[in-house]
Chain A
Amino acid sequence: MTLLLKGGRVVDPSRKVDGTGDLLIENGKIARSAGELDQTGKSRGKGAPPGVEVLDLRGKIVVPGLIDMHTHLREPGFEYKETVASGSEAAVAGGFTSVACMPNTNPVNDNRSITEFIRRKAAECGLANIYPIAAISLKSEGALLSEYWDLKDAGAIGFSDDGRSVMNAALMRRALEYASSLDMPVIAHCEDRNLSAGGMMHEGFVSTEIGLPGIPGIAEDVMVARDILLAEYTGAHLHIAHVSTAGAVRLIREAKARGVRVTAETAPHYFTLTDEAVRTFDTAAKVYPPLRGAEDREAIREGLRDGTIDVIASDHAPHARTDKEVEFDYAASGITGLETSLALSFGLVEEGLLTLPELIEKMTVNAACILRIPKGTLTEGADADITIIDPQREWTVDRGLFRSRGKNTPFHDWPLKGKAVLTIVGGEIRYRDC
């Protein structure tokens, strides 16, 4: 179908474009992108021939389809929490056209048949583009390498043992070397399980006061340091998942200054909330890495501002009610994030911490580069993955309306500003809220 998107503010960091403009979409591709186009795609006056749907996007922001490179779609194995289909619905509702999903399914995505299964499920529901991340080690046990070349051939775009961490440095070293020869990133979940053992929230004054065992920030920092050194030694590309501490931000900043090939992501809850959110024992705020102290939140925000942190990724971790409506000790960790990520991130622009292009960069082209996928751009000829954002739309988070099966959010009832109102994937409108 042919679509003409007229009059929006086109923000495309991949081409350093930020200004009013039109986009013509044909056959699933961006046919033309210019200051002003008519319905035939020519840069001239107005008039509407039949068959071309024209969308008036004045007042809206037009960006490359947003990419969330850290989600848990739970299928196969945990369909009661989420499926590829429900996760895809949540993605497009949140304005995401491409999503990378982590391998801690059941069975773990450590072989090509699981990767191919996930891709098939994604093709069946035909909403967002789903990119499987495969496991670093068999069953993510951190003992034996999985078959990277085979997994790449099946469609995996990176390797991670997210959910656990690779405690064995020799294995991590081999993983970095092996993935590097395929030009694929290793995405590290940095946690020293000996330091974090037994902990449920951030180790700080709040945990002392309320008496919950804590996870010190250094449990993350020592692994960040280790993995950075391994990446430096092997020359491989290391991507650090869900950065939550000031210590990690500092290490990453220094490593980048030295020229180490490290990139990093953080999730909206780490620049929005702190461990104070756990005071009420609200299991919706139980997450790994845990919500940290105020100094950590500050450091995360500064890391976003100065470019140390390259990507905002939701770490969408849907859980069923049964997993969360239990004692804090036994509750599952995780926040469902696809449908709130954009609005929460928008807050950074409202506050003036990031400009709009800087924010969009962290939600589009940077992730595309890290994953080496041909997305995150509105260049002519690119796939027509486009997100239209209404920056003025005020709305209240209502978990009951979430497309995701996971309703576990600490942001319920929050008034937010900014929302994806149109999500176009491959030239087709997959979500519409206007």
Chain B
Amino acid sequence: MEQKKVVMDAEGIDRSLTRIAYEILEKNKGVRELVLVGIQTRGVFLAERLCRKISGIEGKKIPLGLLDITLYRDDLQTSHRAPRLGKTDIPFSLDGKKVVLIDDVLFTGRTIRAAMDCLIDFGRPKRIQLAVLIDRGHRELPIRADFVGKNLPSSLWEAVSVSLTEKDGMDEVVIEESI
């Protein structure tokens, strides 16, 4: 038996992203040395949207990278399938930059751990911050987000899924029981 509940609709997502954009600018005192890196797959779309919002506010375009964490996962040996590789493209130096990592859902924290390992292979950022649309709790590693769209307490037998127009045809965050 599954109950599906919509916790954010398209407008809600947009407002959260707008707020996150302002928060990023506030915390970092502007766009100097600021770069965004989105985590494949939906983190990339969110990062693109944030990039547009920030340049709309500040009038400046900031560098945007994309990152696929598959090669850095810690569960390759135990998962049932070797996942399909996505594209990593960080066409600028990270040395001395303030990197904001962006993902759709923060859960166990292992994805972010892998993303940080990858970033550090690319260079030595001055600072790494994390922005997520949804934080659903249940951390297994000491990882926390700097910018959160919505805190969504959940149980382990619930599934949280983010749909974005770029990939799924609509904007929506849904939580449902999966038994």
Chains A and B share a contact (CB less than 8 Å): no
List chain A positions with a Cβ less than 8 A from chain B.
none
